[in-house]
Amino acid sequence: MQQHDFSKVSLVEVDELFIGQRLDNFLIRHLKGVPKSRIYNLLRKGEIRVNKGRAKPNQRLQSGDILRIAPIRVSADPSPGKLSNQLSHLLMTNILFEDDALIIFNKPSGLAVHGGSGVSMGAIEAFRALRPEERFLELVHRLDRDTSGCLLLAKNRAALISMQKAIQLNRVNKRYQALVAGHWPKGKGTVNAPLRKNQLSSGERFVRVDADGKPSVTHFSVVKRYPSATLLDVELETGRTHQIRVHCQFSGHSIAGDEKYGDSTFNHQVKSDGCSRLFLHAIGLRFKHPISNNVIDVQAPLPEELEKLLRKLERQE
């Protein structure tokens, strides 16, 4: 094991690039090799201070803030931070759009958007390793690990703030495709059901429809019907955790391959047909560019494994 040594008190001045960033997110990136749990513990104990005062994880940084970080010594395996040739190739060959402000990446199923919870390197850490010359790279939004498709990254703070505000104001059209069990009811175009995060005694987290949850709205339209399934176009009006998956389950038509919210019989059926992943794909993003104001309309075609399943379902008709 290699010793990652922050053995001396360090003073870090925040420059304009990180104005408005949460303190915890800044520290996670700055203190590479230090576990997130340790960073939060240091904040609770006051061993990381901002302008000589105690600070909370969600505090927003300002230009010129001085962070005082107490000595830290942790052991970490250096290998998780290394970008493999395979992952590097995957990143470079799946960029759908890039300019000076944004990257749109066609994320494969199985790749987490960020590290943590047993994942050493997610998409954002991988891009930072691939592009060390980029001083700033942040996720604009998130996709579930098992969901594939369009993932938006910002290359500067102005673009990040602008795009996140656009998402909050529902000015970013996020379109998905999902294969669900059974026949989706005719005329069922919108599910408006509040969602709430929950945690089991085992520590497993899940989301369910709850009157006390956050407002959540999803729009559905039928693309094609099969004997035992329906292919849906899905548009998000809100972007809650697991929103599409839970709204499909709530409607009685769970998504194929969904191990958490799905139908085990249907999952077994699609697995026997050769698909062992979640059939949920972020197929398109459409929005006004935060700098040029041009309309950006990017499509990520369905992965071959999902297309192959659809072809098999067609032959069963």
* Residues with a known catalytic role: 144
Q: Are strands 148-154 and 280-288 parallel, antiparallel or unpaired?
A: parallel
CB contact at 8 A, 124 and 138: yes
The answer to whether 157 touches 139, Cβ cutoff 8 Å, is no
Altogether, the residues listed in the chain come to a count of: 317
* Structural tokens at position 170: 């529902």
Amino acid symbol at 288 = K
Q: Give the tokens for residue 261.
A: 């919210």
The neighbour count for residue 84, using CB atoms within 10 Å, is 12
Q: How many angstroms separate the CA atoms of 231 and 270, rounded?
A: 13
H or E element that contains 128:
helix 123-130
Where are the strands (E) in the chain, listed by range?
2-6, 10-13, 48-50, 53-54, 66-69, 72-76, 95-98, 102-107, 138-139, 148-154, 173-181, 190-192, 195-199, 205-209, 217-225, 229-236, 280-288, 295-299
**Quick check: helix, strand or coil at residue 75?**
strand
b/e map 219-243, b = 16+ CB within 10 Å: bbebeeebeebbbbebbbebbbebb
- 132 phi and psi, to 5 degrees? -65, -20
What tokens appear for 92 in the block? 């470079």
* Whether 124 contacts 137, CB under 8 Å: yes
